Amino acid sequence: MTRISGVSLRRVLDSRGNPTVEADVLTVSGGFGRAAAPSGASTGEHEAIELPPGEAIAAARKHAVPRLVETVHAGNQREVDAALRGADGTENFSALGANSAVAISMAAAKAGADVLGAPLYQHLGGTFRGDEFPVPLGNVVGGGEHAADATHIQEFLAAPVGAPSIQEAVFANAAVHEEVGELLADRGVAAAKGDEGAWAPAIEDAAAFELVAAACETVEDEFGFEVGFGLDIAATELWDGTAYQYGDESRSPAEQVEYVAGLVDEYDLVYVEDPLEEDDFAGFADLTDRVGSEARSTSHASGKGPRADRTLVCGDDLFVTNVERLQQGIEQDAGNSILIKPNQIGTLSAAVDAIELATRNGLTPVVSHRSGETEDATIAHLAVATGAPFIKTGTVGGERTAKLNELIRIAEDAV
């Protein structure tokens, strides 16, 4: 019933107005799935290779589609993804393009779920419990590669770790975003928005810390649960080969560790992503030892384990959803969290492998969007299916709210 009868590929627009790959998968029994590949701006050197969409589509039509149609079952995700890997024949999808591969992989999963008449998260093996849901991390102030002339640090994140439900968490993040906008207006600071819908004011990092901390505190008081604070430093983008450059200020690797550890202490940070450049396993280990193994000082902790009781030191460019790099990090105690981006590795199966390896070894998986997104909501289902404690989605914008609203629907469906 789930044998694939057709695969169609096309170019569509992502949230930045750039072309990306969308795939349709149809089964012999009429099951249908559609998915589109996102694209990152600050991409890690070790990510799977994204080809120009036209090239990726041509390569997939020539090499992948013949292996899938009338041969592979959409209901068997491992079989689908093995066929994609075989059609590519490289370690990093440089022949097929990770963008075409992940679009087909996700579309096939949806087609398999459609045949079964089940939600995608159930098809992927998951269940939903109202008291265990992925906490959304919402980007409320952004700079770096996501917005010109704004902060050096790429993302300032709201983290509603005390929320009693996904609905409350979603609306708390939106409230933090709105509060930051009002604070900027009160101070006469003009602010456009970056790639992910975060405010992108031309202010120094120190001012952004003060703004976001104040907004989180206001919303925390309004909602009655802890709204924490997190960062994506995107340190690889600040690294010049010898030091981290914050405008006119330069920090050595040791000074960078000291700086980030100080920020964790000062702001009781819930989450710090990519605090060091993408190959500094030793620096990640040093920082994790300093801030990632002991309980946070907050008096508002919700008692939900890794959601609130320790600072997550998360590797994105460090791990790139790759089990081999993750294993290296595990062996060196480099980080206690991994960011999961399916397009970063090319298939849903490989993303799940990284989540399972992380979970077995005590690292917290954080399923994530990309800066160039689509309306596709697969990652919401992936986070629920794998029990990931966190999901990065952004806060506002149709391609961001698509994931958040899908999480709300999943929660309602599971009641």
Provide the annotated active-site residues.
196, 341
Mention every residue, 6+ apart, whose C-beta is less than 8 A from residue 131: 164
Put the strands of the sheet holding 19-27 in their side by side order: 4-13, 19-27, 32-36
Antiparallel, parallel or unpaired: β 135-142 and 390-392: parallel
Mention every residue, 6+ apart, whose C-beta is less than 8 A from residue 342: 102, 105, 106, 321, 348, 350, 351, 378, 379, 382
Q: Contact, 385 vs 373, CB < 8 A?
A: no
Place of tokens 């790959």: 21
Helix segments in 155-269, DSSP class H = 166-186, 205-223, 253-267
Q: What single string gives the DSSP state of each residue in 285-307? A: HHHHHHHSSSB---S---S-GGG
Q: Contact, 38 vs 20, CB < 8 A?
A: yes
Which residue type occupies 220? E
| Interhelix angle 98-116/348-360, nearest 10 degrees | 90
Largest Cα–Cα separation, the chain: 62
Q: Contact, 88 vs 101, CB < 8 A?
A: yes
